[in-house]
Amino acid sequence: MEPSQNRRQFLQGTAALLLSAAASHPKLSSAQSISASSEDAYWSIVRSQFAFSESAVPMNAANLCPSFRSVAETVSALTYDIDRDCSFNNRAKFDDYLEQSRATVAQQLKVSADEIALVRNTSEANNIINNGLELSAGDEVILWDQNHPTNNVAWDVRAARYGLTIKKVNTPVEPTSLQELIDVFTSQFSNQTKVLSLTHVSNVSGIKLPIKELVAAAHARNIYVHVDGAQTWGAMALDLHDLDVDSFSGSAHKWFMGPKEVGLLYVKEQNIDRIWPNVIAPGWGNGVDTVLRGARKFESLGQRDDSALVGVGSAAQQHDLIGTKRIEERVVTLAQHLKEGIAELGLELVTPMDSELSFGVCITRAPGGRGGEISNRLYTEHGIAGAATGGIRLCPTIYNTVEHVERALAGVKALTT
């Protein structure tokens, strides 16, 4: 049989494609039986689900992660399928695939599928909230000064256009408690405050905010809370209903280890009608009243990469196979190991050592301001790909092994002594 015929047969049937992740990588499924005493063996199997070379180990999940092999294969196979037959008839199946992806993601986040929009990235999701909330001149928006620009500068731009008031909150460089972080925000609340827009975990310091407590305090004052979860979606076991956030954003290309250019926007059911979409494209309907149900109205973006949207479902399946709580525990374990190793080298951490106040983003103050040089040499001389954001930034996740972290520490030691 010709290779093209084999591929054509593989692509037949709708369910087969979303299930391809589990089916084509049975090692990850069977690895569930490995006992806790064999953790290294288990995580070695997880590492094998990624294509990167040991000479170029990614340790910058805060920016970009490799996709699971199964995700890349799903996207590739479906891209070929579309190129082979781009008819409406053939592409009709992608409506079902999209809904399967949405449902799987929603289930992991403990929310309804109608509250989930699969947009293009965190930046777009943040801007949908920024532009879509109805606010008036004089209304106040409180921000964290460590927010990503799409959750900070974007608000500055809207404030300049519409006369909003912006307050940017500075948190302590070395926070000592959750209450300290809570107080620094709540002390800024006023009768004019309408929005509190935060980043869950900072990409420039690694500080983790106590989101549930901040949301409760804000809601007591009838303040809308949006959370940028770019550094937690895919790494933390999240229950968005329990956190009670009004909206939440994330990117599949970071800790979720999914396809590129797909993002998450969660909007609490009672908030969906009050937020206007940024883009109106075919599929919206014939008037102001959309025919799109729930948060799907934020996906009215024109032609999408249908293969990537299916890839989100494939990535979510991999997270289910491993377990979201197990993933979170592994991220914390690796991050703590890294931070403790940095401290033993006598170097200064920017990120809090306490795992209550931090998560997976780990930043070391760069001696002599040499963050860029050290980061580059970690890659070229030691095969560890980090970043120079905020200092020396290393963000290990589940495809990283303890040996990878030890190699990073050895490299930092060699380059700073």
Does the pLDDT of residue 17 top 80, yes or no? no
Confidence of residue 37 (pLDDT cuts 50, 70, 90): low
Q: Tell whether pTM > 0.85.
A: yes
Amino acid at 22: A
Q: Please, which pLDDT band fits residue 39 given cuts at 50, 70 and 90?
A: confident
Is the dihedral angle over the CA atoms 179, 185, 190, 196 positive or is it negative? negative
At 13 the pLDDT is 39
- With helix as H, strand as E and coil as C, how does 38-71 read? HHHHHHHHHHCCCCCCCCCEECECCCCCCCCHHH
* pLDDT at position 49 over 50: yes
Is the per-residue pLDDT at 293 higher than 90?
A: no
- Cα-based distances in Å from 101 to 87, 98, 107, 415: 22, 5, 10, 44
Summarised one tens digit per residue, pLDDT across range 182-215 is 999 999 999 999 999 999 999 999 999 999 999 9
Give whole-number Cα distances, 195 to 33, 191, 271, in Å.
47, 11, 13
Q: pLDDT per residue over 300-325, tens digit each?
A: 999 999 999 999 999 999 999 999 99
Q: Is the pLDDT of residue 275 over 80?
A: yes
Residue 25: phi and psi, rounded to 5, are: -135, 65
Mean pLDDT of the residues in the chain: 92
Question: What pLDDT, on the 0 to 100 scale, is given for residue 30?
Answer: 55
**pLDDT 10s digits, 319-362:** 999 999 999 999 999 999 999 999 999 999 999 999 999 999 99
**Coil, strand, or helix at residue 392?**
strand
pLDDT-derived band at 290 (thresholds 50, 70, 90) equals: low
Give per-residue pLDDT as tens, 365-411. 999 999 999 999 999 999 999 999 999 999 999 999 999 999 999 99
Residue owning tokens 């089916």: 23
Kindly list the distances between the CA atom of residue 295 and the CA atoms of 172, 242, 265, 284, 292, in Å, as whole numbers in the listed order: 36, 19, 8, 12, 8
- pLDDT of 175 reads 97
What are the residues facing 233 on neighbouring strands?
Answer: 236
Report the pLDDT averaged over residues 119-133. Answer: 97
Cβ 40 vs Cβ 402: under 8 Å: yes
Instruction: Give yes or no for a contact between 376 and 392, defined as CB atoms under 8 angstroms apart.
Output: no
